[in-house]
Chain A
Amino acid sequence: MARLIIPHPGHFPALKELIEVKEAEGLNEVDEVFMGGSPDVMGSGRGVLHAPLLDEIRAQTEYAHQHGIKMNITMNSTCPAGHHLSFEGYKMFSWYFGALNKAGVDAVTVSEPYLVELLREYPMKTVVSCLAYIDAPQRAQFFEELGADVITVDTNINRHFDLLRGIVRAVTCDVRVIVNEGCLYKCPFRFSHYNLASHLSSLYQPRTPLFAPDFYFDKCIAIRLRDPTQIIKSGWIRPEDLKAYEAIGIKDFKLSGRTKTVNWIIDCMRVYSKRSFTGNVLDILDCPQMLRYLFCIENEKLEGSIDQWQVCKKICHACGYCDTLTKEALTYIK
């Protein structure tokens, strides 16, 4: 059976509401929630809107377990500023992982290879974040050898089925894909943006205020406004197309969006549970959400596109499939 991994904004009432809907509507594939840890310990690849203390993590984990849901704490900063390799850093991470383990947490998501290795000491599952940029069987094997129990692949290869198939065959651990991240395919800002987010959500802040804290985001939006085909080319996965991934052995489907509103997350959870969606694809993509007010991509018009994407060689300038699809499926909202 497939497993859905659901974003949790962090506050306890949100968890209760997510679980209430899951149970009331029988969304049985919902298996795990993930939320950010303490920014005092480490930043995160995304903005952190809540800083749960250990007691709260314990209480939320107990509640999740009572309802058959696993708890994953996400600590996927791409830049701990070398602190993790200092003696103080080692002691802090060891202490925090131990405390999470005592709190009953089921899994920790990290991107830093040293932390992957450090987590071997604990019974919690080590989930390697998509921000470890695992995009090839070789890299997946490296991380598995470091101690990964689950590998979340780089969303850039979500439509590279040859690589996905290769990764599934190369490792024995579970392979996870993020289904609704709408980041630019092969984004030039990806590493820089996540490094910036990692610093801004941690104690390792820039020394002076930023004059353009949203530089990468603003550039990203502008690129898509000028060239909406980039929205189609992103590595998101239609709810109806999860079966193509199951067919190659991927059973873990993670939804992105822990900085979004509770009801938006619930809607996405429903849609991916039911594997069916009618409407504007941009409504279920974590990023870039603001474009949903300008563009409409009717999901029904994308039916069958997975057949092309499964065999796509990604030589975009010579292919033109996504350009044609954009003309057919995307309209401007007036």
Chain B
Amino acid sequence: MKGEVKEGRKTLEDELRKLVGTIFVSEAKVFGMACGCVGFAADLRGLRSDDVEVFMEKINGILAEISESVGVEPEFIYARKLPGSDEVVVLTTRELCDRCKKEFAGSKAPPRPDILVMKKKG
């Protein structure tokens, strides 16, 4: 697992650089939440929400592959922006618990204004 997380961080950074220019992925991690969700998250700087929208399909593909390599089913993929700006600071893939399927991913609207939904299963 350690190797896959490290490799995932590097791959994501390299691939995003190919797509949009200088991107810095400062940290990648696999997480487990109290509610039951598990996920993969990458903290990064240099990416904007416009970049994500233009390259969404490609970025989803990259994230899905990394996510699966660390054992996380990428059911819900999203970017978190700095509130009130277009700077993307985290990319996350998440395998959702039953509660979050409804509460976090169940609305037609993005769950919060700082969340850019990139992929929703089903």
User: Which A residues are closer than 8 A to B by beta carbons?
Assistant: 9-11, 13-14, 16-17, 39, 47-51, 259-264, 266-267, 290, 293-294
Contacts and interface: CB of A to CB of B under 8 A. Distances in A.
Contact of B107 (A10, A48, A50, A263): A263
B83 A17 contact: no
A283 to B, nearest CB: 9
Given A50-B113, A263-B102, A293 B84 contact: no
Residues of B in contact with A, size category: 10 to 19
Interface in B65-122: 83-85, 102-104, 106-114
B1 interface: no
A34 to B, nearest CB: 14
B113 A290 contact: no
A260 B104 CA distance: 9
Given A47-B83, A48-B84, A293-B34, A259 B112 contact: yes
A11 B108 contact: no
Contacts of A10: 113
Given A49-B113, A50-B114, A261 B83 contact: no
A263 B111 contact: yes
A50 B84 contact: yes
Nearest to B80: A49
Please give me the 7 A-B residue pairs with the lowest Cβ-Cβ distance, nearest first.
A51-B84, A13-B109, A50-B113, A293-B34, A261-B111, A11-B113, A262-B107
A212 to B, nearest CB: 19
Interface of B: 34-35, 83-85, 102-104, 106-114
B108 A17 contact: yes
Nearest to B85: A51
Contacts of A17: 107-109
B106 A263 contact: yes
A13 B110 contact: yes
Contact of A290 (B34, B85, B103, B110): B34
Contact of B35 (A263, A264, A293): A293
Contacts of B109: 11, 13-14, 16-17, 262
A39 B84 contact: yes
10 contacts: A10-B113, A11-B109, A11-B110, A49-B112, A50-B84, A50-B113, A259-B112, A261-B103, A262-B112, A264-B103
Nearest to A13: B109
A266 B106 CA distance: 11
B84 A9 contact: no
Contacts of B110: 11, 13-14, 262
Contact of B83 (A51, A266, A267, A293): A51
A47 B84 CA distance: 11
Nearest to B108: A17
Given A262-B110, A263-B106, A294-B34, 10 more contacts: A13-B108, A14-B109, A14-B110, A17-B108, A49-B113, A260-B112, A261-B104, A263-B102, A266-B107, A293-B34
Q: Which of A11, A260, A263, A290 has the most CB of B within 10 A?
A: A263
A198 to B, nearest CB: 15
Q: Which of B34, B106, B109, B110 has the most CB of A within 10 A?
A: B109
Contacts of A16: 109
B83 to A, nearest CB: 4
Nearest to A17: B109
A219 B108 CA distance: 35
Contacts of B111: 261-263
A279 to B, nearest CB: 12
A262 B108 CA distance: 9
B70 to A, nearest CB: 23
Contacts of B103: 261, 263-264, 267
A18 B41 CA distance: 29
A228 to B, nearest CB: 16
Nearest to A333: B34
Nearest to A35: B113
Q: Which of B35, B83, B106, B108 has the most CB of A within 10 A?
A: B83
Contacts of A264: 103
